[in-house]
Amino acid sequence: MNEITPIETPEGRPARVRKPDWIRVRAPTSKGFNETRKLMRDLNLNTVCEEAACPNIGECWTKKHATVMILGDVCTRACAFCNVKTGMPRKVDTNEPQHVADAAAQMGLEHIVITSVDRDDLADGGASQFVKVIEALRRTTPSTTIEILTPDFRNKHEAAVEAIVAARPDVYNHNLETVPRLYPTIRPGARYYASLRLLEMVKRLDPSIFTKSGIM
């Protein structure tokens, strides 16, 4: 393990500590990474790996792992923890569901994770696009297990969840992101207990679907 080397400072100032080498992520340059990036560009797909500035992108893309982010790259919310840009999103891409399925087939994915930006501008919050992606994957790569990571579909979650559950993803993921006390600061556009109720509803509608959640 690399030692952390203190930096000498003038008397009275707090000492700064040099960051260890392992904390720095090198720019990805592998053949696998470039192939994955080209595939995403050719199919006009967005990924949370890029838009959220994930530091693990080099390792994952080299192994042909990528989390596709549907419904564009502009979010209607401005959560404090997220790097995805906020604004007015563009029109939904009707070719996106099949492009996602094509990417899964070309990458030979046994499991795929699909997430999205928040689309509060859409009547269904973007739920129908999740359904179309699931259907396209079932047609194109029927052996691939499907995990979706959805937003909370604010004020429209009941109809949205019903439609998505009916499409039968293998895993329904919805992140809480933080504890209730920090929601007004970290995730002001959402409500902690509303997210819990969303996951509860998924399980009530179809107990066979795995549910999960993440917290930062």
pLDDT tens-place string over residues 92-117: 999 999 999 999 999 999 999 999 99
pLDDT tens-place string over residues 111-151: 999 999 999 999 999 999 999 999 999 999 999 999 999 99
Q: Which two tokens stand for residue 146?
A: 């499907």
pLDDT, average across residues 7-27: 68
Chain Cα centroid distance, residue 124? 19
What are the Cα distances from residue 96, in Å, to 23, 90, 99, 164? 36, 13, 5, 17
How is the chain split into domains, by residue range?
33-212
Q: Which two tokens stand for residue 208?
A: 């066979």
Helix (H, G, I), strand (E, B) or coil at 178: coil
Look at residue 11 in the predicted model and tell me its pLDDT.
Answer: 64
Which CATH entry fits the domain spanning 33-212: 3.30.950.10, 3.40.50.720, 3.10.129.10, 3.20.20.70?
A: 3.20.20.70
CB atoms within 10 A of CB 16: 10
pLDDT, average across residues 59-86: 89
Residue with the two structure tokens 């560009």: 41
**Residues contacting residue 13 through CB under 8 Å, at least 6 positions apart:** none
Look at residue 64 in the predicted model and tell me its pLDDT.
Answer: 87
pTM, rounded to two decimals: 0.84
Helix (H, G, I), strand (E, B) or coil at 51: helix
- Cβ distance 199 to 211 under 8 Å? yes
